[in-house]
Amino acid sequence: MGKATGFLEYNRQTNPSVSPLERIRNFREFHPRLSEELRRAQGARCMDCGVPFCQSGVSIGGAFTGCPLHNLIPEWNDMTYLGNPGHAFDRLRKTNNFPEFTGRVCPALCEAACTCGLNGDPVTVRENELAISDDAYASGRIQPEPPAVRTGKRVAVVGSGPAGLAAADQLNHRGHEVTVYERDDRPGGLLMYGIPNMKLEKDVVLRRIQLMTDEGVRFITNADIGRDIPAEDLLRDFDAVILCCGAKKPRDLNVPGRDSTGVVFAVDFLKSTTKSLLDSGLEDGSYLSAAGKHVVVVGGGDTGNDCVGTAIRHGCASVVQLEMMPKPPETRTASNPWPEWPRTLKTDYGQEEAIAVFGKDPRIYQTTVKELLADEQGALKAVKTVRLDAVRNPETGRLNMVEIPGSEEILPAELLLIAAGFLGPQDYAADAFQVERDGRSNVKTQEGRYATGSEKVFAAGDMRRGQSLVVWAIAEGRAVAREVDEFLMGYTNLD
């Protein structure tokens, strides 16, 4: 390492953040970048630790820790410190097709496993990665690189989320002719319509799509495979088909009053805002608005937090976020040691904004919806909640959340957003290719493999592994590309 004692000399410093009351005025990203000098100091904090857990990508204690892409983190951190951004980017792109995405939206499994975090603050790995990527674009280092030779093999990728894009990028650079089908009006999948602009501005996504187009990837939008376009067309016209349709079947609420108007899935709420922003800057009024409404969000995860932040930007009257599980501890417990993923309390941007606007954390723990109350016209007017007690099963050791009698409360609500996770891919896309499902309704493949039971059909990303992270989707896209390349050519030289 160029600065072996850097972790002793420099403190962790993250990108600054625009104040909550200022940033809620728009839907822009709100983390200005550090100066080059300060960023180099952050790169210097990377230790010569011998065993870089940051790039391990392994399961410990029932959760993954370390980077699933096995990014060469110590190498490009060292190059950042030494002021060699070109070499840093060369090492970064060997393992990660889209660092401009992961540098913005990844929860940083690498930092949870950083050796510096054992007795102090971890290295700012994710922000260093983003700085390297942004510099590569700004300096013109990223240019179209179409393959010099084409193989004559044709591959169809169904779905243009991070898994589909990664697979397409890898196979295109290998020399195969790749066509990506997207059912929405813009490519990007989850990156385009599942993640709000304030976390990932859409010109970042479109910039990458344009780069891939210039390199020879063909994108076809408004193409719903299995509905508008028969699966047989792809099986006839292509040498291999990769299904990357995501896990888009949302978990629903099975409670009285579910049919009330004003009950919306989180993904539909977020998509409507993003599409209206892109189409008209919200001027067309076509989005699901939270303006002036009391909003209840069911789900305490990232999507629920995105709903909170979006509702506040709409101008909601109030927002509450319901979480079934107990409130996590502020710091690691003895049963959750490093380098496990820290199961600790995280206050994200949406919750910060709710605290600034309404004076309190929007989250209510150990609470769920018992009934939805509507007015005479069938419009939602309130939510009846019930408190839950965490009871551990003596045989399995698992926590069961049990209703507490007499703990019901009424919350005003004209808009309820269901952000309770997803149950796998939508049936029609998988059924169209006659692929087998596993017990969780995901597309079934052999362990560690991506070929389905249907001839020349492969699957990757959330459609295969279930709801997961962008970084995992990229890793799956790269892995399925290797398998497809070997299927087509008899061997593969893809990383």
Whether the pLDDT of residue 408 is over 80: the answer is yes
Whether the pLDDT of residue 450 is over 90: the answer is yes
Separation of first and last alpha carbons in the chain: 25
Whether the pLDDT of residue 393 is over 90: the answer is no
Q: Residue 50: what pLDDT?
A: 87
Task: Name, in order, each residue with C-beta under 8 angstroms of 21's C-beta and a sequence gap of 6 or more.
Answer: 356, 357
Whether the pLDDT of residue 396 is over 90: the answer is no
Nearest-angstrom CA–CA distance, 354 and 80: 36
Give the DSSP per-residue string, 1-33. ---TTHHHH----PPP---HHHHTTSSS---PP
The average pLDDT across 119-129 equals 96
Q: Residue 178: what pLDDT?
A: 98
CA dist 326 → 165, 300, 334 (Å): 37, 11, 17
CB 297 within 8 A of CB 320: yes
Banded pLDDT at 397 (limits 50, 70, 90): confident
The average pLDDT across 478-490 equals 98
What is the per-residue pLDDT across 153-162, written as a single tens digit (0 to 9) for each?
999 999 999 9
The average pLDDT across 47-54 equals 90
Map tokens 């502020």 to a residue: 330
Q: Residue 395: what pLDDT?
A: 85
Handedness of CA 445, 447, 448, 449 (dihedral sign): negative
Task: Name, in order, each residue with C-beta under 8 angstroms of 255's C-beta and a sequence gap of 6 or more.
Answer: 369, 370, 371, 372
The average pLDDT across 414-431 equals 94
What CATH number should be reported for the domain whose range is 154-248+423-489?
Answer: 3.50.50.60
Banded pLDDT at 78 (limits 50, 70, 90): very high
Banded pLDDT at 2 (limits 50, 70, 90): confident
**% of residues, the chain, pLDDT over 70:** 100
Whether the pLDDT of residue 489 is over 80: the answer is yes
Q: Is 110 left (phi over 0), alpha (psi -120 to 50) or beta?
A: alpha
Domain boundaries, the chain: 6-138, 154-248+423-489, 263-418
Residue of 379, 378, 192 lying closest to 272 (CA atoms): 192
Beta-strand runs (E) in 161-293:
177-181, 218-220, 240-243, 263-265
Task: Name, in order, each residue with C-beta under 8 angstroms of 280's C-beta and a sequence gap of 6 or more.
Answer: 286
CA angle 334-364-300, nearest 5°? 70
Q: Is the pTM of this model over 0.85?
A: yes
Whether the pLDDT of residue 1 is over 80: the answer is no
Whether the pLDDT of residue 146 is over 80: the answer is yes
The average pLDDT across 121-149 equals 97
Banded pLDDT at 48 (limits 50, 70, 90): confident
Give the DSSP per-residue string, 16-77. P---HHHHTTSSS---PPPPHHHHHHHHHT----SS-GGGT-EEETTEEES-TT---HHHHH
154-248+423-489 and 263-418: identical CATH topology: yes
CATH superfamily placement of domain 263-418: FAD/NAD(P)-binding domain (3.50.50.60)
CATH superfamily placement of domain 6-138: Alpha-helical ferredoxin (1.10.1060.10)
Whether the pLDDT of residue 105 is over 90: the answer is yes
In this structure, which amino acid lies at residue 416? L
